[in-house]
Structure 1
């Protein structure tokens, strides 16, 4: 890659941001298409967020991704916000055009695409259990409802947070029945056996921990599990699924798919099929199968 004065710049802001895999994906796609674009990380402390956003726009970047802890905090500093991102209450992608900043959220789109690509799962007409009630859960709930799920139940350690999330979306997403509750229900065979899909949106599994009471063997025949965690590649939850022959996947597919959606927003074209995923596969240690 040769960077010149004509190179178009994109990137990602966060704190920290050095661990991000997004530069690997996007630079591979730019190279594959022969685009004179580059993607770089911008470490931005919370206290400097407003100044950084204004500076990126002034510097002429074409767009950038947003990661923790800025996904919510950035919203007041944008000129426009996509309706779904507004409903989710978080932005992970910003398009800059003629100094005007528009925020999007591609996380949910990435989830739905990953479900189709990795598990051949279509949410239409299905019942889904979402574990967690944070920002990732909000994007999952909105996108699953948009994709046609007829029932979405949010289970969280703090029930109030689950109720707040459901109250936020229930009146704005018709055609989906929403419910909220605590994680205690995971131990009920009748409850867990009523879902077609379980999605973990929390950090549980990153440190080798697991959900107390959740036994994937209690899922109905044909049900599957999607774990947004991708490091480690096999969480205890996915290991349990593998032991019982339950279809499952980690969050790497979602990471790739949300990146592909952001790429299309900035460039107007799709990255070559499989390019970003191959770049990650070459960069990361050999992943293990559940």
Structure 2
């Protein structure tokens, strides 16, 4: 039963309707007898600063951060974890009562996904589509797994070059514009393809021409709703 002592947790992002976090956390709170609730709030980039200030003042115990706020949120936190510094993005914030501390759990999630699938990334030709907060977590995970070269394909070269600059001392990142001949050639020739954009979220959209999925050793999609996106289905159909 909710009372004046019930702790509040939440997730912020835009869009937010797809978030499974409230369902998952509510079930876990119930299972372990934790007096807390977990809600979802739609927060646009333009009001992020005010939203974080409000969450701090209201004493929200912690909150998750989803697209497209994972990079910008770092400007409004007091402490950033080592993994978040490496990534350049935050997806989890803890309110200690005195400070807002940012963490990134996406990195471990990506590492776990590749390990569970039995995919080894060392010395593989890898193309990642996207250059936002989720993409940064993927690069950090790939770096941890041993890759030193990566091709990034993005709608805007500027965003891709920002990512490349952030990781320049760790990973050699080449950036191509989505739809360009260079991007298509790289995607066709790569062994591992990663979608780190929101394309396919609650839709049947696909980020690339399905014909480019032929012969891939692995295809990874950060989109989790639906559980099997069109990108994954098309890849499975091609072996």
Query: Shift of the alpha carbon at 1:127?
Result: 4.1
Cα RMSD, aligned residues only: 2.7
**2:107 touches 2:138 (CA, 8 Å); kept in 1?**
yes
Query: Shift of the alpha carbon at 1:132?
Result: 1.8
SS at match of 1:35: coil
Residue deviations 1:11-64, cap 9 Å, x none? 112344344211011111222222223212234455543333233223332211
Matched, 1:178 2:176: no
Distance 1:55 1:232 in 2: 32
Q: Which residue of 146, 150, 153 corresponds with 1:148?
A: 146
Residue deviations 1:176-229, cap 9 Å, x none? 4433334434543x864443x21111233344343137522233xxx1101222
Distance 1:241 1:149 in 2: 23
**Gap runs ≥5 in structure 1:** 246-290
Number of residue pairs matched by the alignment:
235
Task: Give the corresponding residue for 1:202.
Answer: 197
Task: Give the corresponding residue for 1:28.
Answer: 27
SS at match of 1:74: helix
Measured at CA, do residues 231 and 59 of structure 1 come closer, stay the same or move farther in structure 2, by a change above 3 Å? closer
Distance 1:44 1:160 in 2: 24
SS at match of 2:10: strand
Distance 1:44 1:179 in 2: 32
Q: Which residue of 222, 225, 230 corresponds with 1:228?
A: 222
Distance 2:30 2:122 in 1: 36
Greater RCO, 1 or 2 (C-alpha within 8 Å, sep 6+): 1
**Gap runs ≥5 in structure 2:** none
SS at match of 2:214: helix
TM-score, structure 1 normalization: 0.69
SS at match of 1:11: strand
Task: Give the corresponding residue for 1:167.
Answer: 165
Distance 1:59 1:158 in 2: 38
Residue deviations 1:61-101, cap 9 Å, x none? 22111234433333222111123323433322111112210
Residue deviations 1:106-127, cap 9 Å, x none? 223222222223x232445544
Distance 1:185 1:148 in 2: 25
TM-score, structure 2 normalization: 0.82
Distance 1:88 1:57 in 2: 24
Distance 1:34 1:145 in 2: 38
Matched, 1:218 2:218: no
